Amino acid sequence: MLNRRIFSSRPSCFCVPARNPIPVIRSKMKFISRFGSLKPAGSLKILSVLPIALAVMLIAMGCSSNEGDGPASRNEGPVVLSGGSVATATPLPIADQPAEVPDGLQIVWEAYSILVREYVAREKIDPDVLAEAAVIGMLDALEDRYTSYISPKTFQIDQAGFQGKFGGIGAQVEAAPDRKGVIITRPLPNTPAEKAGIKAGDRILAVDGEDATGWSVLEAVNKIRGENGTPVVLTVEHVGSLDPVDITIIRGTIEQTSVIIRQVSDTTYGRIRISQFTAETAREVRQGVQELIDDGATGIILDLRGNPGGLLTATVDVASEFLTEGLVTYEVNSRGSRQDWVVKKGGKFPEIPLVTLVDNFSASGSEVLTGALQDHGRTVVIGTNTFGKGSVNLLRGLSNGGGVYLTIGRWFTPNGRLIEEIGIDPDVVIEFDLDAVGINPQTSEGGDPQIEAAVKQLDFQIATLASSHG
């Protein structure tokens, strides 16, 4: 993991990182993580006796005819165990191993066939249940929080819910870094979740009394969404607290624009707040920045705090408004193939001074955008280390109506920095203590130390540019 850069000089101008030609003001700030480490310090392992899906094998059992080639042919006498007890050979033939079992996975079929023949509680041997348990065990062994089994019921959730947006309460979630359920990455402003007291970083422990610590994002979405006007009770653990609290939220219709435009008070700067990347985001950013410039803005604060990502195409389009050429990002897939996503021509704002704000909950597309602007030397990044969600994921259907949500690639910044599990380090580390300040950084500027640092950085940048031209 990359080390956080915490600068300790006086709050004045000083040397610029070699990567970044933009002059940077750095401040001595004490770093206190609101959420603790967002990188997995270890994973909860669910060990399964059957580490692979059995559905295909169960179908094949009725078709195989290799009678002398199964596990029974190898059970030819007692085995003395280390404790001195004796394991007796199976007295009856076991179902033959199907021909299509891959090399190395024969023990899966052997274990299942032994269970079918000899397990005492035969009523517990349900092929469908065992198959699902096998898939869960196989995927969990990968220790990848973004690869999981999706039950048939959950698989039916529409794609808006799949991206982690709760249509019923107005909050966005991600898989918890320790793979124990999900956390709230952002309650949307003026939504039932925010009004009820849900906060960024809240861990969802239960929904309506049902344990949620083993759920995937899709399972959480499926349980929390519901009809407008109906209540749902979330049991959550706030950041820094060990005492769970029950929060009742009344579901409602959530309407949220992806871009909010504001003038920063008492300055000539504008603030572009991107909450997520949708098909309309690039157009909204282009229109918003132009409006701010027309109103006299001389610099832009690009606020990506709490942004969980969204459409990659939208991320590339937004980056292209501020860059002239080169890469935005590149993807390396499971076969080692690389796909480049390049800057599109025609960006309208390649010169305007720009500062970018990020936090622990800036994820995925917001990390791609931040990394691109940072690698190109186009912005100074202020805030805290980002979430570290740099994986490309895909949902594949299974024959039982469920699915496998799996990681198929990784995103890298133009200079080759891996985003997954590492995140993007800011140029200037400044913590926003929401509980101490008492305001929402997504809706307010007053008392926000990161906004204040961005204003000072823009002041310095513009003054430096003016002196160089004078």
Of the residues 64, 364, 366, 391, only one is catalytic, namely 364
- 375 has catalytic annotation: yes
pLDDT of residue 73: 39
Query: How many CB atoms are closer than 10 A to CB 312?
Result: 18
Distance CA 400, CA 290 (A): 51
CA distances from 201 to 10, 137, 213 (A): 31, 28, 15
Name residues whose C-beta falls within 8 Å of residue 217's C-beta, 6 or more positions apart in sequence: 164, 173, 174, 175, 182
Distance CA 308, CA 364 (A): 6
Q: Which of 260, 242, 188, 179 is nearest to 213 (CA)?
A: 179
Of the residues 223, 366, 389, 448, only one is catalytic, namely 389
Identify the segments of the chain with pLDDT beneath 70: 1-99, 156-167, 433-446, 470
Q: Is 141 helix (H, G, I), strand (E, B) or coil?
A: coil
**DSSP codes, 450-463:** HHHHHHHHHHHHHH
* CATH number listed for the domain at residues 12-30+257-469: 3.90.226.10
Q: Where in the chain is the domain with CATH 3.90.226.10?
A: 12-30+257-469
Helix (H) or strand (E) segment spanning residue 313: helix 312-322
Distance CA 109, CA 117 (A): 12
Of the residues 144, 359, 375, 448, only one is catalytic, namely 375
Name residues whose C-beta falls within 8 Å of residue 79's C-beta, 6 or more positions apart in sequence: 86, 87, 89
- CATH number for domain 152-250, candidates 2.40.160.20, 2.30.42.10, 1.20.1250.20, 3.20.20.70: 2.30.42.10
pLDDT of residue 167: 53
DSSP 452: H
- Token readout for 258 is 């992806």
* Per-residue pLDDT tens digits for 441-466: 544 555 789 999 999 999 999 999 88
Q: Which of 136, 92, 18 is nearest to 375 (CA)?
A: 18
- 275 has catalytic annotation: no
In degrees, rounded to 5, the angle at the alpha carbon of residue 144 between the alpha carbons of residues 139 and 145 is: 105
Q: With both helix axes pointing from N to C terminus, report the angle between 281-294 and 312-322 in degrees, rounded to the nearest 10.
A: 30
pLDDT of residue 96: 61
In this structure, are residues 429 and 171 in contact, taking their beta carbons and an 8 Å threshold?
no
Q: Where in the chain is the domain with CATH 2.30.42.10?
A: 152-250
- 199 has catalytic annotation: no
Distance CA 418, CA 411 (A): 7
* Per-residue pLDDT tens digits for 98-110: 667 787 788 888 8
Distance CA 155, CA 57 (A): 23
Residue 327 backbone phi and psi in degrees, to 5: -90, 150
Distance CA 306, CA 441 (A): 9
pTM given for the model: 0.68
